[in-house]
Amino acid sequence: MKRIAVFTSGGDSPGMNACIRAVVRTGIYRGLDVYGIYRGYEGMIEGEIKRMYSYSVSNIVQRGGTILKSARSLEFRTPEGRKKAYENLKSHGIEGLVAIGGDGTFTGAKVFFEEYGIPTVGCPGTIDNDIYGTDYTIGFDTAVNTALEAIDKIRDTAAAHDRIFFIEVMGRDAGFIAVECGIGGGAEFVMVPETKTDLKHVVKSLKNLRKTKTSSILVVAEGDDLGNAEEIMQQVKAQIKDPNKEFKVTTLGHIQRGGNPTAFDRVLASRCGMAAVEGLLEGKTNCMAGVVNKEVVYTPFGDCIGMPKPLIPDHLKLIDILSI
């Protein structure tokens, strides 16, 4: 293998640039020509492919987002679109790919490999931390710290005005961000997609907490079974029926995706990027390079996509214990 390409796809996450940097410089260190594909699979179809050098990734390790851009590609889901992508890669002599992204990215890479056989190794780039085969995903730690900083500030005003705040964080299908923020932010409740939310219990507990606490913080993952933070707040408010108690909602939204990556995310991204290149050179393909118990591991895309990644039960228990 003499020529590889790297691309980012799906939602951006802090640390993707650090991963790109590691892929480019590891490839050059190993004597490879490294190319960057702009705008993910869409750019692959459109031929937005450029040679990258060591200086191409200078001064990006600390930047959020992705210098290679990202895009959703409906055309890549079609055989015709994938054929265009393959022809563009072959015209540049590209023999291997590093795909940085999440479930959607790896699903596309798996189908592409099955059809055209171009070796591909992925790096787990998503703030949701919901990919099987790695303890943490690139961007998760930064997203949690960003959300936690906001929660700390909201608690100040909640305490000052004796308010109950419902804070919505990202997590359509996974509650990892909500759980970490709940523990770190001292939340009274955390609501996540993985567990069924008992509204009666929430209402009863809030009423009891009023005897010892004047304010409360409830962290809601956007994919909770009862709805988003606004919908849950309205349900709780209707049952508590206290005209003297104020209920507020704050949706943190895409602020969680941006910002400078933490040291943890920069190191994780760099390790995964290096491991992806070395994996390609060792003949690995159709798999993801992740870190489990501080060691680099390679997990087949099929498992990354199909295997569930459960929350840590002790973390949910910890929230209940510390909220009294």
Residues known to be catalytic: 128
137 is written with which tokens?
């995903």
Phi-psi sector, 217: left (phi>0), alpha (psi -120 to 50), beta: beta
Return the residue matching tokens 């990258």: 52
Q: H/E element holding 160?
A: helix 140-161
Return the residue matching tokens 């596309």: 108
Q: What one-character-per-residue DSSP string does 24-61 give?
A: HHHHHHTT-EEEEETTHHHHHHHT-EEEE-GGGGTT-T
Report in angstroms the alpha-carbon separations of 113 from 55, 79, 313.
30, 13, 36
CA trace torsion 10, 289, 61, 109 (10° rounding): -30
